[in-house]
Structure 1
Amino acid sequence: MASKKKVIVTGFEPFGEHAVNSSWVAVQELEKLGLGEAVDLYVCEVPVEYQAVQRLLPSLWEEHQPQLVVHVGVSSYATTVTLEQCGHNKGYKRKDNCSFCPASRCCMEDGPDCIHSALDMETICKRVNDSGVGVTFSVSEDAGRYLCGYTYYTSLHLGQGRSAFIHVPPLEKPYSSQELGRALQAVIQEMLKLLDEDHNQD
């Protein structure tokens, strides 16, 4: 029997106008659904704080040794479930929930400007849009310059690209928490399939 795949999925705590953060609500829905028998799913809520992310992410990667880490965040502008292809290092000047922002305005002092996910989001997007899950997916190259982008870049660095970031719209704009949970389940299963395919080609 093959050992179970470990997948970590995170959402964010409330911030700003998001008194309820749809990303964490969606992740909790996903936890109820699971990712199938072969996957050991671990979920956690990430504080909207730069320094907390710097502490939390290395321990998640080290402690769990996951095959894949998927971060989910809310975007007021999103009307689709948006798959982010890359994380950016510089330009973080918006203050977090503790009114803090990095003095360097970047994730890593000497890090590359941009780190791409090992997953081809265009392929995943097409597959999951064709699968009839009832939620529309799109791809973006810019996860923003706040905790979403900051978390993604840090995680891509720690996991050598085995990380993904998904932006979800606020609840009921247009999707319910159940629809978002099903969307996360479908897209993460596609991500795992693609990682398997890539692995088998090596």
Structure 2
Amino acid sequence: MILLTGFEPFAEDAINPSWLAVCRARDMLRAEGHSVEVVELPCVFGESGAALIDAMDRVAPEIVISVGLAGGRDRISLERVGINCDDARIPDNRGQRPVDEEVVPGGPAAYFSTLPIKAALRNLLIAGIKGEVSQSAGTYVCNHVFYALMHSLASRPGIRGGFVHVPYVPEQLGPGSQTPSMPLETTAEGIAVIARTALETSVDVKLSAGATH
């Protein structure tokens, strides 16, 4: 079983491509015979992590891929590490704006993704989909969910998971906008590629995908 999660809209956006893309990826993967469930998470500190853990308890997944929006990026970002820090630049959908608070009080400083992110990057590029390994998932609700996911998986042997950021879809941007975007179908196929790779890859590949800053 694969569990895919996306987010509800937040800030000024009427839609969230993370949710649209995981729903489309679910359909693609189910058509191939895979068992897939999707859950829309609230863009709210605390509630989002709890909703994700409830979903894992309910569907007992083998793979968990949480997806969020990173407006301004031009490619699918495979997040490497989630940190134990909530530091919100803007309020969440409940008006909360935590500053320098821990996601899990007393928890480890960080967790690494247990998805095969390098193999997934390779397969994205083979498929002609722009991708990257990202070294920071930020400190907003996306990172909150990423850390909460990995903290939960630390006590759930046999389940692998991680976080992926996706760009805007073109429909969110005004005419003539220079902000990067990615068509929904491409984004969804990218998520499906990552899911297939996770199912097929037990040991990640060695592939340079670091950063100098």
Q: TM-score, normalised by structure 1?
A: 0.86
1-structure distance, mates of 2:10, 2:42: 9
1:27 corresponds to 2:22 = yes
2-structure distance, mates of 1:104, 1:138: 27
Greater Cα shift, 172-181 or 140-149: 172-181
2-structure distance, mates of 1:48, 1:91: 13
- Secondary structure at the aligned position of 1:62 is classed as helix
- Secondary structure at the aligned position of 1:87 is classed as strand
* Residues 140-159 of structure 1 aligned to structure 2 (within 5 Å): 140-159=134-153
Shift of residue 18, structure 1, vs aligned partner: 2.2
Shift of residue 136, structure 1, vs aligned partner: 0.8
Shift of residue 103, structure 1, vs aligned partner: 7.1
One-letter amino acid of the counterpart of residue 80, structure 2: Q
The residue that corresponds to 1:50 in the other structure is: 45
Note if contact 2:169-2:184 (Cα within 8 Å) is conserved in structure 1: yes
Note if contact 1:93-1:105 (Cα within 8 Å) is conserved in structure 2: no
Q: Which of 198, 205, 210 is the aligned partner of 1:191?
A: 198
CA RMSD in angstroms, aligned pairs only:
1.9
Q: Which of 69, 79, 84 is the aligned partner of 1:84?
A: 79
The residue that corresponds to 2:211 in the other structure is: none
Where does the alignment leave 5 or more consecutive residues of structure 2 unmatched?
171-179, 205-213
One-letter amino acid of the counterpart of residue 34, structure 1: L
Count of residues in Structure 1 that have an aligned counterpart in Structure 2: 189
Query: Which ranges of 4 or more aligned residues in structure 1 deviate by more than 2 Å?
Result: 91-95, 101-104
Where does the alignment leave 5 or more consecutive residues of structure 1 unmatched?
1-5
Shift of residue 126, structure 1, vs aligned partner: 1.7
2-structure distance, mates of 1:179, 1:89: 31
Shift of residue 91, structure 1, vs aligned partner: 3.9
2-structure distance, mates of 1:9, 1:91: 23
- Tell me the percent identity: 26
1-structure distance, mates of 2:105, 2:181: 39
